[in-house]
C-alpha cells in the first residue's frame, strides 16, 4: 500500500512532509497543488517527517497540501528509442513536451521517456527452456547504427527459465516478448524496456578492468601529451569563454567511441540551445549521417529548477551504463559539474547541514567521487568489453583552480585538461595549458619521446619568463633557440584549426608521423649564428608545417611539403645528441 502525507513546511525547492506510512530515501513522491502533481524525491528521512526536493517551481505549494508516494525510487526507463533523444533531467522528451505543452512548459506535465506505440523489429536469441539471469540478452532490435540488445532487467536477482519467447516480428515496448519462471514457479513477463534507479550503479558485469586503451580524440595535444583512456575519467576546468563547450563538441564528433551522452547540468540556456542546433547538423565521420543518431542529450539549463541538475547527472550516467552493458564504448560529457555542485550547496543550506569550504556541503568530495567512479572498463559475462568514459567540465569563478569543486574533481579523475584564459585570449586553441595539465594514462606516442618534448616545452616556458624580466638581449643564443623550439611545438603541433577540414581532426597514424617529424627538429643541434637568424628560420619553418598540417594525408602536396621541411631542417642541422638519436631509433 502506498503511503501519503501532507506538507508542513516549504523552503525554496525543498518541502517538509509529515508522512503516514513507510517511505525510503530517494523514493519519488508527488506534491498535489493547484490541480497539478509535482514530482519530488525524498532526500532525508527523520521519523515521521521527510524532506523532499521538488523538481519543479514550488510557487503555490502551501501548508496542508497532500503528498502521494510512489513506492518507487527515482529511476529512468531503459530500452530501444533512447538514441537521438533530447531529455530533461527527469527523462521527459523535450521536443514532445514542447509540442504538447507549448514553449512555456507547464508544471507537473510528464511524458513517457520512450515511444510506446513505435514498432520494433524484435529478433529472439534465446529459446524456451534456456536459463537466463539479469542483464542476459534475450533478443535484439535495430536502433540507428547499432543492434540494440534486449536485456533481462537488472533488478531480477534469480536464475530464470525461459517459458515462452516471441518469434521474430514487430512489437511495441508495451508488448510482452518473453516470460520467465523463477525458482518458486512465478511467471514474470518481460518487455523490451524496464526501469532502473539512477542513484544505483549498474554492476551486472563479470569483472572491472584497468583502463589502458587510449580513447583517441583526434586532438593532437590530448592524444599525444594528455591522453584519456576508454573507461577513464578526465576534467576540463576553465574560466568562462575559454572554450570548454567547443572542446566538448569536437570530442563528441571525433572521439573513438560508439555513443555520446551530453549532460547539460545547469549551463546557460544559450549554450545549450547552440548544442541542440548544431548537433543534428554535425555529420558523423564514422557513418556520414547525423551525429544525433548515436547521441543522447540531457538538457537541464540554469533557468530550469535547481534540483533537476542532480537528476540530470545521474540520469545521464545510468543511460551510459546501460549501453556499456551491451558491450559498447560510451562517452559521457557533463557540462558543468560546478552548476551541479552549486545546486548541492543550495540544498545543503536548506537542510541546515554543517557547511564545508565556501559553504559547499561536507560530502562534496564523496559525491563527486561517487559520480566519476561509475565510469570504467568492464568485461561482461560473455567475454565482451564495454566502457563508460566520463569527462566533466568545471567552471571555477575567475578561473581559480583552487576552489573546492575543482580540487574535489582533481582528486578522482585520471586526466586534467586545464584551460587557460591567457591561451584563449592569445587565440591558442585548444586552450589547454600543456604545462599545468596532466594525465595518468598512456597515449599513442612513446612516453619517452613525449617526455623529451615536454622537457623542451618546460624549458622554453622558463626562458620566456626570464626574457620578460631581462629582455631578449639578456638571453644566450642557445637558450633562445630552445625557446623557439618550444614555441614551434606549441604553434605547429599543439594548436589545431577547427575550421580546416583536414586539421580539425588528425588520425593517430598521422599524429605519430608528424610528431616524429617534430622530434627531428626538437632533437637537432642547429647552425644558427644569431637570434635574428633563429627567429626568421623558425618563423619560416612554422609556416611550412602549418601548410603541411592542412594538406591531405599522404597526398602529393603532403609529400612535397614534407620534402621541403626535411631539406629546410637538414640545411641547418649539425647533429643529434645520442639520447635523442636512441629515442628516434625506437620508431
How would DSSP label each residue in 122-156?
A: EEE---TT-EE-TT-EEEEEEETTEEEEEE--TT-
Considering the segment(s) 447-585 as one domain, its CATH architecture is Orthogonal Bundle (1.10)
Task: Count Cα atoms within 13 angstroms, Cβ side, for 383.
Answer: 0
CA dihedral 80, 83, 86, 90 (to 10 degrees): 40
**Residue length of the chain:** 587
Q: Which residues carry a binding-site annotation for ATP?
A: 238-245
Q: Can you tell me the distance from the alpha carbon of 308 to that of 502, in angstroms, rounded to the nearest whole number?
A: 40
Angle at 418 between CA 414 and CA 422, to 5 degrees: 165
Enter the C-alpha cell of residue 118. 513505435
CATH, range 205-428: 3.40.50.300
- Please, what are the averages of pLDDT over each run of 10 residues along the chain (587 residues)? 92 94 94 93 95 92 96 96 93 87 79 94 96 96 94 94 96 96 94 96 95 96 96 94 85 93 80 73 77 89 77 95 97 91 92 93 96 97 96 88 95 96 91 95 93 94 94 92 96 92 94 94 92 96 96 94 94 74 62
Q: Which of 25, 34, 26, 29 is nearest to 2 (CA)?
A: 29
Using an 8 Å Cβ cutoff, are 166 and 177 in contact? yes
* Topology adopted by domain 120-192: OB fold (Dihydrolipoamide Acetyltransferase, E2P) (2.40.50)
pTM above 0.85, yes or no: yes
Q: Which residues carry a binding-site annotation?
A: 238-245
C-alpha separations of 103 from 36, 91, 94, 257, 307 in Å: 18, 17, 10, 34, 21
Task: Count Cα atoms within 13 angstroms, Cβ side, for 389.
Answer: 31
For 340, the 3-state DSSP assignment is helix
Strand partners, 389: 331
pLDDT at 270: 66
The domain ranges of the chain are 4-73, 120-192, 205-428, 447-585
pLDDT at 470: 92
CATH, range 4-73: 2.40.10.170
Identical fold, 205-428 and 447-585: no
pLDDT at 286: 76
Using an 8 Å Cβ cutoff, are 417 and 219 in contact? no
pLDDT at 2: 87
Q: Can you tell me the distance from the alpha carbon of 312 to that of 306, in angstroms, rounded to the nearest whole number?
A: 11
pLDDT at 579: 64
C-alpha separations of 341 from 362, 375, 400 in Å: 12, 19, 16
Longest Cα separation, the chain: 90
Q: Can you tell me the distance from the alpha carbon of 558 to that of 564, in angstroms, rounded to the nearest whole number?
A: 10
Amino acid at each position: 500500500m502506498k503511503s501519503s502525507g501532507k506538507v508542513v513546511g516549504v523552503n525554496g525547492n525543498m518541502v517538509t512532509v509529515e508522512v503516514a506510512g513507510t517511505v525510503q530515501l530517494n523514493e519519488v513522491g508527488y506534491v498535489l497543488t493547484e490541480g497539478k502533481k509535482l514530482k519530488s524525491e525524498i532526500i532525508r528521512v527523520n521519523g515521521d517527517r521527510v524532506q523532499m526536493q521538488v523538481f519543479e517551481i514550488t510557487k503555490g505549494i502551501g501548508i496542508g497540501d497532500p503528498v502521494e508516494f510512489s513506492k518507487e525510487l527515482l529511476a529512468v526507463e531503459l530500452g530501444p528509442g533512447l538514441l537521438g533523444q533530447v531529455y530533461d533531467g527527469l527523462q521527459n522528451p523535450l521536443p514532445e513536451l514542447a509540442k504538447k505543452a507549448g514553449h512555456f512548459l507547464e508544471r507537473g506535465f510528464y511524458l513517457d521517456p520512450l515511444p510506446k506505440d513505435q514498432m520494433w523489429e524484435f529478433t529472439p536469441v534465446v529459446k524456451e527452456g534456456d536459463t537466463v539471469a539479469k542483464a542476459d540478452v534475450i533478443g535484439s532490435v535495430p536502433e540507428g547504427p547499432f543492434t540494440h540488445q534486449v536485456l533481462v532487467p537488472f533488478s531480477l536477482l534469480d536464475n530464470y527459465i525461459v517459458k515462452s519467447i516471441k518469434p521474430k516480428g514487430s512489437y511495441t515496448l508495451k508488448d510482452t516478448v518473453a516470460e520467465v519462471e523463477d525458482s518458486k514457479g512465478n511467471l514474470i513477463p518481460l518487455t523490451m524496456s524496464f526501469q532502473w534507479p539512477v542513484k544505483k550503479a549498474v554492476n551486472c558485469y563479470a569483472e572491472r578492468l584497468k583502463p589502458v586503451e587510449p580513447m583517441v580524440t583526434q586532438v593532437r595535444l590530448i592524444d599525444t601529451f594528455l591522453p584519456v583512456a576508454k573507461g577513464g575519467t578526465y576534467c576540463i576546468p576553465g574560466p568562462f569563454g575559454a572554450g570548454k563547450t567547443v572542446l566538448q563538441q569536437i570530442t563528441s564528433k571525433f572521439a573513438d567511441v560508439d555513443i555520446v551522452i551530453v549532460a547539460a547540468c545547469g549551463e546557460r540556456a544559450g549554450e545549450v540551445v547552440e548544442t541542440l542546433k548544431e548537433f543534428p547538423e554535425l555529420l558523423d565521420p564514422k557513418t556520414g549521417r547525423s551525429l544525433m543518431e548515436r547521441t543522447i542529450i540531457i538538457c537541464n539549463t540554469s533557468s530550469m529548477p535547481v534540483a533537476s541538475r542532480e537528476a540530470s547527472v545521474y540520469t545521464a550516467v545510468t543511460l551510459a551504463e546501460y549501453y556499456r552493458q551491451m558491450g559498447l564504448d560510451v562517452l559521457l560529457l557533463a557540462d558543468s559539474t560546478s552548476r551541479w555542485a552549486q545546486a548541492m550547496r543550495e540544498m545543503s543550506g536548506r537542510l541546515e547541514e554543517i557547511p564545508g569550504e565556501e559553504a559547499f556541503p561536507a560530502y562534496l568530495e564523496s559525491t563527486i567521487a561517487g559520480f566519476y567512479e561509475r565510469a570504467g572498463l568492464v568485461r561482461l559475462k560473455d567475454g565482451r568489453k564495454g566502457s563508460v568514459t566520463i569527462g566533466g567540465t568545471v567552471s571555477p569563478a575567475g578561473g581559480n583552480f583552487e576552489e573546492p569543486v575543482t580540487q574535489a574533481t582533481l582528486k578522482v579523475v585520471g586526466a586534467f585538461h586545464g584551460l587557460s584564459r591567457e591561451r584563449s585570449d592569445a587565440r591558442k586553441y585548444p586552450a589547454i595549458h600543456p604545462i599545468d595539465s596532466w594525465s595518468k594514462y598512456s597515449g599513442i606516442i612513446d612516453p619517452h619521446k613525449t617526455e623529451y618534448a615536454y622537457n623542451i616545452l618546460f624549458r622554453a616556458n622558463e626562458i620566456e619568463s626570464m626574457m620578460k624580466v631581462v629582455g631578449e638581449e639578456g638571453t644566450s643564443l642557445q637558450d633562445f633557440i630552445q625557446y623557439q623550439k618550444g614555441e614551434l611545438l606549441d604553434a605547429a603541433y599543439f594548436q589545431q584549426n577547427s575550421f580546416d577540414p583536414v586539421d580539425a581532426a588528425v588520425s593517430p597514424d598521422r599524429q605519430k608521423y608528424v610528431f616524429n617529424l617534430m622530434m627531428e627538429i626538437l632533437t637537432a643541434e642547429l647552425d644558427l649564428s644569431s637570434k635574428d637568424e633563429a627567429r626568421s628560420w623558425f618563423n619560416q619553418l612554422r609556416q611550412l608545417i602549418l601548410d603541411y598540417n592542412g594538406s591531405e594525408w599522404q597526398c602529393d602536396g603532403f609529400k612535397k611539403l614534407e620534402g621541403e621541411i626535411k631539406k629546410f631542417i637538414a640545411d641547418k642541422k649539425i647533429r643529434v645528441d645520442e639520447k635523442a638519436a636512441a629515442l628516434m631509433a625506437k620508431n
